[in-house]
């Protein structure tokens, strides 16, 4: 296992972190991601700032009475620039529901092709093709698949040997040995 800052931070993904910033703010949130610059992505983040106010008049100024209060602000999803991060501390473990959510469980489903061409109705479809699809064709607007000999540049099909006739190199055909492998 590599021993770098990245590998050490990886073990704290989805943990609650307390991040102290250079300007004195403290951000607490769930750690989602980081990068090579140590920029941090936190979700459900809250910002805590400590504000200091001098209280009273001239007499209190001599006594230097300072009142501190803490402001809390909800931020949500944030990206902290790594340059501003002073310290990172773990506040708490990941929530118990996050452990199961990390692995996507497979569910029931059916794979279907999503290409162009002839639509093959499912075996239980007795009535014919789906609505909007003509009998045995592609959906309206897609048109039919290309037909050999119709349109194009009028080039003859390649010979069975795989070598094009003289003078045909560089006109839409790959060089010998660079084709699709089947000798055509």
Q: Per residue in 170-184, pLDDT tens?
A: 556 666 666 565 555
- Distance (Å, whole) CA 42 – CA 13: 10
Q: Mind listing the pLDDT tens digit for each residue in 95-118?
A: 787 545 554 455 566 666 666 666
For the chain, give the percent of residues with pLDDT over 70: 43
Contact 78, 29 (CB under 8 A): yes
117, 118, 120, 145 from 136: Cα distances, Å: 9, 6, 8, 12
| C-alpha of 12 from chain center | 20
Coil vs helix vs strand at 86 = strand
Question: What torsion, rounded to 10 degrees, do the Cα atoms 161, 163, 164, 170 define?
Answer: 150
Whole-number Å distance between alpha carbons of 161 and 155:
17
> pTM score > 0.85 for this model?
no
């Amino acid at each position: 296992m590599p021993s770098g800052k990245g590998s050490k931070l990886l073990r704290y993904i989805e943990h609650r972190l307390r991040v102290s910033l250079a300007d004195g703010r403290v951000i607490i949130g769930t750690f989602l991601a980081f990068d090579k610059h140590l920029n941090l992505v936190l979700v459900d983040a809250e910002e805590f700032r400590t504000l200091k106010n001098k209280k009273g008049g001239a007499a209190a100024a001599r006594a230097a009475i300072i009142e501190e209060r803490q402001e809390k602000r909800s931020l949500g999803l944030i990206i902290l620039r790594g340059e501003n991060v002073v310290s990172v501390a773990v506040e708490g473990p990941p929530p118990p529901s996050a452990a199961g959510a990390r692995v996507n469980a497979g569910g029931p489903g059916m794979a279907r092709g999503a290409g162009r061409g002839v639509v093959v109705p499912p075996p239980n479809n007795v009535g014919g093709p789906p609505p909007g699809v003509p009998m045995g064709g592609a959906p309206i607007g897609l048109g039919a698949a290309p037909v050999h000999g119709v349109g194009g540049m009028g080039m003859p099909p390649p010979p069975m040997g795989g070598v094009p006739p003289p003078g045909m190199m560089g006109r839409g055909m790959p060089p010998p040995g660079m084709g699709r492998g089947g000798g055509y």
